[in-house]
Structures are given as C-alpha cells and as structure tokens.
Amino acid sequence: FRNVNNRVYKLACTGKERRTEMIFIKSIYKSYNNGKTEVLRDVSLSIDDGEFAVILGASGSGKSTLMNVMSGLEKADKGEITVNGSNLNAMTDKQLTEFRKNYVGFVFQQYYLLPHLSVASNIKLGADLAKNNDFDEIIQALGLADKLNKHPSELSGGEQQRVCIARALAKKPRILFLDEPTGALDEKTGREVLDCIMKQKEKLGFTMVMVTHNQNIAETAQKVILMNSGKIVDIRANKTQKTAYEIGW
Ligand code: ADP
C-alpha cells in the first residue's frame, strides 16, 4: 500500500511488476434530464498505471458517458472518481480543464481536426497545450512526415485518425482515452490504426482506455470492462493479448 494525496493506493502485483492504480472509481451515478435519464448506475472499477483497458458494450449502454466522467469531460452526480491521485468530482470546472490539459489525451471516432489548419499545426496544438516541443518522433512513428503541409480534407480517414493520435500523444498524456477510434474506418485501415495505437502504447507506456462495441477489439486489451444498461456486468483480464492483425473484424 502507498499513500498519495491522503488516499491509500493498492499495489497490484502482476508477476514481477508492481503497479499502482491510475483510475479508481467507486459507486458513481450519472443521469441526464434532471435525473429522468439514468445512464450510469453504481459503477465501480479500477485501472492500473500503464494498463490497456477496453470498455465494451452495446450502443447506448453508457460507455461514452463512463469515459467522459473518468476523463474529466463531465461530472458524475455522485461517487468517487480518483484519477492520477486527484478526486475529479471535487474539482471546479477550471480545475477539470487544467487536469485534462496536463494529463489526458483524447481520440474520437469523428476526428475533430481543425479544418483550416495544416496537419503540422493541428498536431502542434496538442503539443502546445503541454508546452512540449519534441514531437518529431511521434510524427515519424505515425508515418505523417510527408503529410505535414496538407489540410485534413486532403487526407484519407485513416490518415486523419493518425493525425488525431499524433495530436493526442504530442501532449505526452498519462492516460489516452479513445472512443471507437476505428469506428469510421474500413477493415484494412482500422487494423493499421489499431496496430499503430497499440505500438505507441507499448513504446511510451501510458495508461490506455478504449471504448468499443466490437468484441474482437476487446481481445487486444489487458482488461475488459463489460457494460449493459448503465451497469458494469463483468470485468475480466485477458490472459493473452491479440494483435490488431490476429483478431477477427
Ligand atoms: P454508448 O457510448 O454505450 O453508446 P452513451 O454513454 O453514449 O452510450 O449513452 C448512454 C445513454 O445515455 C443513451 O441512452 C443516451 O441517449 C443517453 N445520453 C448520453 N448523453 C446524453 C445527454 N447529453 N443527454 C441526454 N441523454 C444522454
């Protein structure tokens, strides 16, 4: 056990590795429309530092809402959400913005690139947020070196998603959150993008949380959190992780 910010962190032992919790959630609830639409009900989970967790479930089961709450995009109605040692539910909106800026990166199904800026400027925006100047390696690793002067509309879907990944990683986030990152891509491009995400995770060692409705993609994760109707119905560890090219699609 270790004490960080007055919270006792459990050290999980996996073989020789000793890991601390990066995300700890206890009994959170979230509803919309003044409580009429209950979306998350008594959700608890933990994700270790450096772990790759997938949140799996059918459309409408509450996956994106759970991701939004654990990444500081939205606040839960009640419950405990401790991420990287900070209690997100006790933060002001300004503190949450600061938290997101300093610690997390996002990749969404819809790329959300700024259309009037070049690839280089889009990526630089991410890097500037964290005052990071050394992102050339990420550009090389994602195969974007010859695309830097292009605008998003001149790129294929897979290339645009690689720019989004580069933008998120240029911040050097502690946690990368991805919501259906391959949802808009065909099989070949989807596998390439997933492979590239997993390789960057291996290399850089950040914690990764990916939302998907695709059971095959869940086989690439270390931990699978299964949701149904706003509740977690199962949390399982994959004994072995498949690569993006070994799974079905
Ligand atoms: P998933 O990611 O699994 O598809 P979501 O978390 O997006 O599920 O949505 C879960 C449920 O919450 C859905 O029924 C959705 O309509 C509802 N919901 C999500 N966001 C809002 C919102 N901002 N206002 C009202 N209802 C919402």
Check residue 117 and report its DSSP letter: S
Q: What confidence score (pLDDT) does residue 128 get?
A: 77
Whole-angstrom Cα distance, residue 171 to residue 102? 8
Say yes or no to pLDDT of 50 above 80: yes
Q: What is the pTM of this model?
A: 0.91
Q: What confidence score (pLDDT) does residue 19 get?
A: 60
Share of the chain above pLDDT 70, in %: 91
Averaged pLDDT score across all residues of the chain: 91
Q: Which residues line ligand 1 (CB under 6 A)?
A: 32-33, 37, 39, 57, 59-65
Please, what is the Cα angle at 105 between 2 and 146, to 5 degrees? 135
Q: How far is the CA of 151 from the centre of ligand 1 (A)?
A: 32
Q: What are phi and psi of 81, to 5 degrees?
A: -130, 100
Tokens (6 digits) for 84: 């990287």
Tokens (6 digits) for 145: 């070196």
Say yes or no to pLDDT of 3 above 50: no
List Cβ neighbours of 223 (8 Å cut-off, separation of 6 or more).
Answer: 47, 51, 52, 53, 54, 235, 236, 237, 238
Q: How far is the CA of 180 from the centre of ligand 1 (A)?
A: 14
Check residue 10 and report its DSSP letter: P
User: What ranges make up the beta strands (E) of 86-229?
Assistant: 86-87, 104-108, 175-179, 207-212, 223-228
Q: What confidence score (pLDDT) does residue 7 get?
A: 46
Q: What confidence score (pLDDT) does residue 18 get?
A: 53
| Banded pLDDT at 129 (limits 50, 70, 90) | confident
Say yes or no to pLDDT of 57 above 90: yes
Q: What confidence score (pLDDT) does residue 227 get?
A: 98
Q: How far is the CA of 60 from the centre of ligand 1 (A)?
A: 6
Higher pLDDT among residues 15 and 138, named by residue: 138
